[in-house]
């Protein structure tokens, strides 16, 4: 009886050992598979949440970074060296290059646009708004004798431009810049009528003279220093021109290196107006 049971015992022991061997092998292989799944999830999460460092050196998730760059930089009073970049006479074929350069630096500007140009380039008007820039009114004709022919004509040009901008973007802007600036043509009677319609007149205190077609960087940087010394926010007038766009990168690089922060103009910002001297009795 004992001799017959010995093979059975041996077989039982071998079967048990085989079972344990298979079980352990299966358990050993399952662990790496689970680790692989966890790694895959971690890699996916990492790919969806990139990180970057802001100026303070703190990390930001991609969602936070996108939110920061899509929004404007805030109000001028929040910075030590705020500056307004303004562009007149657009939009046109040069505007995309200007927008592209601004986007590289996450800078915001203000575009004073002509109504015929807005009708010709409606997609650019929408892009300007969608990328967080401010939009203002520059009139219709840009002809001195026509625009300043009467107070009513000047007002109607701005109201027509305002309506077109609203139709295209849903934005009702009250920021205006008159052709060639407010002095000497925009006298008290014009100002009074514009005030009645709550239109806010913006001139500038830094003239790039980019319309001359030359190098405007040195001209602008010299004026910026003087304006800051006088306690004003530099407000640069430029134009939607190809040569302006070509040199814009140099200007933006200068501003970045010297810690200027370009911010857009808000509806309730205090406007920069030319000195009236003996021509008119209006705010500075």
Quote the domain boundaries for residue 195: 78-262
Same domain, 10 and 82: no
Contact 270, 232 (CB under 8 A): no
H/E run at residue 160: helix 151-169
Q: What is the pLDDT of residues 230-270, one digit of tens each?
A: 999 999 999 999 999 999 999 999 999 999 999 999 999 99
CB neighbour burial string for 4-37, b if at least 16 within 10 angstroms, e if fewer = eeeeeeeeeeeeeeeeeeeeeeeeeeeeeeeeee
Closest CA to 98 of 239, 222, 266: 239
- Is 59 contained in some domain? no
pTM of the model: 0.73
Instruction: State the pLDDT confidence band at 18, using cuts at 50, 70 and 90.
Output: low
Whether residue 101 is found in the same domain as residue 215: yes
Residues 159 and 217 in one domain: yes
* Domains in the chain, number: 2
Residues noted as catalytic: 88, 239
Whether the per-residue pLDDT at 4 is higher than 70: the answer is no
106-117: pLDDT as tens digits: 999 999 999 999
Contact, 191 vs 197, CB < 8 A? no
Give the Cα separation of 284 and 230 in Å (integer).
13
- The answer to the question of residue 6 being in a domain is yes
In the chain, the percentage of residues whose pLDDT exceeds 70 is: 71
Per-residue pLDDT averaged across 64-79, rounded? 58
Give backbone dihedrals phi and psi of 160, rounded to 5 degrees, phi first: -65, -40
Task: Report how far apart the first and last C-alpha atoms of the chain are (Å, whole number).
Answer: 121
* Segment 21-36, tens digit of pLDDT: 555 555 444 333 333 3
Q: Are 139 and 147 in contact, with CB atoms under 8 Å apart?
A: yes
Same domain for 44 and 96, yes or no, is no
Task: Judge if 11 and 83 occupy the same domain.
Answer: no
Q: Is 179 exposed, middle or buried (0-12, 13-18, 19+ CB in 10 A)?
A: buried
Q: Report the CATH number that the domain containing residue 196 is assigned in CATH.
A: 3.20.20.370
Q: What is the pLDDT of residue 11?
A: 58
């Amino acid at each position: 009886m004992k001799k017959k049971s010995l093979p059975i015992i041996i077989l039982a022991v071998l079967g048990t050992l085989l079972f344990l061997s298979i079980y352990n092998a299966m358990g050993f292989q399952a662990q790496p598979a689970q680790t692989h799944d966890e790694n895959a999830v971690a890699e996916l999460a990492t790919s969806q949440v990139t990180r970057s460092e802001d100026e303070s050196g703190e990390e930001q998730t991609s969602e936070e970074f996108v939110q920061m760059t899509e929004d404007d930089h805030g109000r001028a009073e929040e910075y030590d060296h705020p500056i307004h970049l303004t562009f007149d006479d657009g939009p046109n074929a040069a505007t995309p290059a200007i927008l592209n350069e601004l986007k590289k630096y996450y800078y915001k500007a203000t575009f004073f646009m002509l109504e015929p140009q807005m009708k010709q380039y409606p997609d650019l008007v929408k892009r300007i708004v969608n990328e967080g820039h401010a939009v203002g009114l520059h009139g219709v004709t840009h002809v001195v004798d026509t625009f300043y022919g009467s107070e009513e004509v000047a007002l109607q040009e701005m109201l027509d431009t305002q309506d077109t901008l609203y139709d295209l973007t849903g934005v009702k802007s009250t920021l205006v810049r008159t052709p060639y600036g407010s002095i000497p043509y925009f006298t008290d009677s014009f100002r009074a009528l514009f005030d009645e319609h709550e239109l806010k007149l913006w001139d500038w205190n830094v003239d790039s003279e980019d319309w001359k077609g030359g190098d405007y960087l040195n001209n602008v940087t010299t004026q910026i220093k003087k304006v800051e010394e006088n306690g004003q926010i530099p407000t640069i007038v430029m134009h939607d021109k190809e040569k302006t766009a070509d040199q814009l990168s140099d200007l933006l690089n200068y501003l970045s290196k010297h810690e200027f922060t370009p911010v857009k103009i808000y509806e309730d910002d205090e406007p920069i107006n030319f000195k009236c001297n003996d021509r008119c009795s209006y705010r500075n």
